[in-house]
Amino acid sequence: MKTVKSTFDQWAVSDRASNMTAGHAHIYEAYLLDLENHSQDIPSAFSILDVACGYGEILRLASKAGLTSLFGLDLSPEMAKKAQDIVPAASFEVGDFTKAESFALFPKVAGCVCVEAIYYAKNPCLGLQNFKSALDINGRLDLFLDFYQENRPSHVWAKALGLKLQLHSIEEWKQMCLDAGFSAVSHRFAHVTSELVSEHDFLSSPYTESYADYLESRANGTLWLTAKA
Ligand SMILES: C[S@@+](CC[C@H](N)C(=O)[O-])C[C@H]1O[C@@H](n2cnc3c(N)ncnc32)[C@H](O)[C@@H]1O
């Protein structure tokens, strides 16, 4: 049976995960720039836990920028293994973010970030509660997701992946963060900055069926939720 774990184990050992990581470049860039812009509030010892880290690209970039307290968690052992090879300076663990015990080996962190993963969980609220517990008091949560109610072209993803995904509106995600105990929940959007693909060069896929969908999704942007623990 196809599961989230088997899907991402398979992506990790194929080129698929490299393409996925490249497709999230605008997210990593926006997140790290935002940390830099708030650097007066952020000590150089700012610690980051990348939940559902995939190849750990955020941690690789953060390490390059001089941060040293870096941790990653992923459900897929193959992803975590790959991430550890790519970012030896960070510590990676294998575990399910909806289970509290998956966080047992990490110290409390200043920043918890989760990119394109929360909607894979059957019960995302459990994940959010664990993110809250993983953070220092006043620590910062950043959630990024392209699969959300207002981003209509993304709705085909569950069928394309053959997995059950949790589709919620922006307000529902914000309420879930509040229910998990976060405060100061706000949202904005991160937009792809690479050059627009022309209609001539656009390739249809089960994830983006038409050029109109590509344009609409790109204009909508990646939902970016920030909250305080
Ligand atoms: C679309 S990928 C995103 C990976 C990475 N965050 C990135 O920016 O490329 C989703 C990742 O979430 C992980 N994942 C999904 N559900 C998870 C869970 N319940 N606990 C931990 N990791 C999970 C998958 O194994 C996969 O690596």
CA 109, CA 69: separation in Å to the nearest integer?
9
Most informative mutation of 6, 76, 146, 207 for ligand 1 (most atoms within 8 A of CB):
76
Distance, CA 55 to ligand 1 centroid (Å)?
9
Query: What pLDDT is recorded for position 229?
Result: 96
Q: Which DSSP category does 14 fall into? A: S
Decide whether any atom of ligand 1 lies within 6 Å of the 146 Cβ. no
Query: What pLDDT is recorded for position 41?
Result: 62
**Closest Cα to atom 16 of ligand 1:** 120
For the chain, list the domains and their CATH numbers. Answer: 4-228 (3.40.50.150)
H-run or E-run covering 37: helix 25-37
**Residue 188 forms beta bridges with which residues?**
224
Give CB contacts under 8 A, 24+ apart, made by 9-18.
Answer: 9/76, 9/77, 9/78, 9/79, 10/78, 11/76, 11/79, 12/54, 12/55, 12/76, 12/78, 12/79, 12/81, 12/82, 13/78, 13/82, 17/54, 17/55, 17/79, 17/82, 18/55
Most informative mutation of 79, 103, 112 for ligand 1 (most atoms within 8 A of CB):
79
Decide whether any atom of ligand 1 lies within 6 Å of the 17 Cβ. no
Nearest CA-CA partner of 111 in 38, 176, 5, 163: 38
The SS3 assignment for 152 reads helix
Amino acid (one-letter) located at 99: K
Three-state SS string over 89-127 comes to: CCEEEECCCCCHHHHCCCCCEEEEEEECCHHHCCCHHHH
Decide whether any atom of ligand 1 lies within 6 Å of the 54 Cβ. yes
Query: What pLDDT is recorded for position 37?
Result: 86
Decide whether any atom of ligand 1 lies within 6 Å of the 96 Cβ. yes
In sequence order, the 6+-apart residues with CB closer than 8 A to the CB of 126 are: 98, 99
**Closest Cα to atom 14 of ligand 1:** 52
Q: Which DSSP category does 182 fall into? A: -
Distance, CA 225 to ligand 1 centroid (Å)?
17
The CA-CA-CA angle for residues 12, 55, 217, to 5°, reads 90
Query: What pLDDT is recorded for position 120?
Result: 98
Decide whether any atom of ligand 1 lies within 6 Å of the 24 Cβ. yes
Write out residues in the chain with pLDDT < 70, as ranges: 39-44
Query: What pLDDT is recorded for position 42?
Result: 64
Most informative mutation of 116, 119, 157, 192 for ligand 1 (most atoms within 8 A of CB):
116
The SS3 assignment for 193 reads coil
Distance, CA 40 to ligand 1 centroid (Å)?
31
Contact (Cβ atoms closer than 8 angstroms) between residue 76 and residue 96: no
